[in-house]
Amino acid sequence: MPEPIEVRKVPIESVTDASGLSRLIADGVIEASRVLAVVGKTEGNGGVNDYTRILADRAFREVLAEHGHPDPDSVPLVWSGGTDGILSPHATIFATTADAPASEEPRLSVGVAMSEVILPEDIGRPAMVEKVAAGVREAMKIAGIDDPRDVHYVQTKTPLLTLATITDAKSRGQDTAIEETGPSMDLSNSTTALGIAVALGEIEMPAAGQIHKDLSLYSSVASCSSGVELDRAQIVLVGNVRGIGGRYRVGHSVMKDALDADGIWEAIKDAGLPLPDRPHASDLGGRLVNVFMKCEADPSGRVRGRRNIMLDDSDVHWHRQIKAAVGGVAASVTGDPAVFVSVAAVHQGPSGGGPVAAIADLG
């Protein structure tokens, strides 16, 4: 049986601020050596050259090292860049704990795994799907989860393409699925999502021509980010296990479109919080740890029949616009702008919408 989990959200007050993690350790809430993973939002541009992810990564690893973690470089730190609109930089920290109440009810469990090295020529192709799927299956074993239905959230970080890695592939006689670095972020995310969906039995193994194209294929629990700071998939799998004990539970749902606040409320209810028929943020009572979601500009260019110009805007990339819009919807539900909202959601939830996971403190 895996150990029970302690999970806390802390603010990030500057680009290199990891004081929230340091305080949790100093106050005895968590032990540095027990930290399993960190999932957070940084304030950069969210693009290929978003250095804020690297700065946050360094700051949090330095805190772990200072407090005695034996191998801080082994801890998956999944940073999603870009806090557009009212979104607030923050980090959610997952750690095992020796001090948790016993419970036979479903309680939070986390499995952390790394895939095989993902080569630049794998991105956007079945080889990457297979490598990610194998890593997800390993993370399920570590979390003590046998039934894929008990998996509610899979957060990944995978490599994207840079000029250097494209050149590397060519030097070995290989080609890459695309040669544009910016769009490779979306492609890496979508390929990873299909790997998650395959591992959890949500879909069959897709053909090469379906990757990033067949929008009917998706995972309802995948949340995929990519960056330049790694060469394999970091996988943080979150689900529920009976008998593990602890205070926390995770649930999930999907947003059908960018305005679907009900999808967020459904995820919170699925995490075990009792809510009235027409809930308000005040009904949460401080028991919601965080929500995690992906979003995507609807390829039709419309939301609920109304036209928007996100995909035609040459001044501000649609990534930033949809992130700000969905962040506002999410914050209106939770009453807290420190919510995890990430873009590039192809194959992650229904087209134009996205998956939502919620972690609740059930006491």
- What's the pLDDT tens digit per position in 160-180? 999 999 999 999 999 999 999
The token pair that represents 205 in the structure block = 């193994």
Secondary structure of the chain as H, E, C letters? CCCCEEEEEEECCCCCCCHHHHHHHHCCCCCHHHEEEEEEEECCCCCCCCHHHHHHHHHHHHHHHHCCCCCHHHCCEEEEECCCCCCCCEEEEEEECCCCCCCCCEEEEEEEEEEEECCHHHCCCHHHHHHHHHHHHHHHHHHCCCCHHHEEEEEEEEECCCHHHHHHHHHCCCCCCCCCHHHHHHHHHHHHHHHHHHHCCCCCCCCHHHCCCCCCCCECCEEEEEECCCCEEEEEEEEEEECCCCCEEEEEEEECCCCCHHHHHHHHHHCCCCCCCCCCHHHHCCCEEEEEEECCCCCCCEECCEECCHHHCCCCCHHHHHHHHHHHHHHHHHCCCCCEEECCCCCECCCCCEEEEEEEECC
Question: pLDDT at position 2, please?
Answer: 94
| Backbone φ and ψ of 81, nearest 5° | -85, 145
Question: pLDDT at position 284, please?
Answer: 98
Q: What's the distance, CA 137 to chain centroid?
A: 17
Question: pLDDT at position 25, please?
Answer: 98
Tell me whether residue 81 is annotated as binding: yes
Question: Is the pLDDT confidence value at 46 over 90?
Answer: no
Question: Is the pLDDT confidence value at 291 over 90?
Answer: yes
Tell me whether residue 343 is annotated as binding: yes
The token pair that represents 137 in the structure block = 């299956």
186: confidence class by pLDDT, cuts 50, 70, 90: very high
Question: Is the pLDDT confidence value at 310 over 90?
Answer: yes
- Across-strand partners of 292? 340, 357
Nearest-angstrom CA–CA distance, 336 and 328: 10
Tell me whether residue 353 is annotated as binding: yes
Nearest-angstrom CA–CA distance, 111 and 76: 11
- Opening angle at CA 203, ends 197 and 206, nearest 5: 95
Mean of pLDDT values over 231-259: 97
Tell me whether residue 66 is annotated as binding: no
Question: pLDDT at position 68, please?
Answer: 96
The catalytic site residues sit at: 157, 225
How many angstroms separate the Cα of 249 from the Cα of each of 49, 239, 273?
35, 8, 9
Residue pair 89/12 in contact by the 8 Å Cβ criterion: yes
Question: Is the pLDDT confidence value at 229 over 80?
Answer: no
Tell me whether residue 240 is annotated as binding: no
38: confidence class by pLDDT, cuts 50, 70, 90: very high
Q: In this predicted structure, which of 228-232, 249-253, 281-285, 286-290 has the lowest mean pLDDT?
A: 228-232
Tell me whether residue 276 is annotated as binding: no
Average pLDDT, the chain: 96
Q: Which domains can be identified in the chain, with CATH numbers?
A: 5-96 (3.30.1330.170), 107-239 (3.30.1330.180), 247-361 (3.30.1330.160)
Q: Are strands 90-96 and 35-42 parallel, antiparallel or unpaired?
A: antiparallel
157: confidence class by pLDDT, cuts 50, 70, 90: very high
Question: Is the pLDDT confidence value at 208 over 80?
Answer: yes
Nearest-angstrom CA–CA distance, 336 and 326: 13
48: confidence class by pLDDT, cuts 50, 70, 90: confident
49: confidence class by pLDDT, cuts 50, 70, 90: confident
Question: pLDDT at position 312, please?
Answer: 97
The token pair that represents 242 in the structure block = 């009976």
47: confidence class by pLDDT, cuts 50, 70, 90: confident
pLDDT digits (tens, 9 = 90+) for 66-101: 999 999 999 999 999 999 999 999 999 999 999 899
Whole-structure pTM value: 0.96
Question: pLDDT at position 227, please?
Answer: 83
Question: Is the pLDDT confidence value at 1 over 90?
Answer: no
Q: What is the share, in percent, of the chain residues with pLDDT greater than 70?
A: 100
Question: pLDDT at position 327, please?
Answer: 98
pLDDT digits (tens, 9 = 90+) for 123-154: 999 999 999 999 999 999 999 999 999 999 99
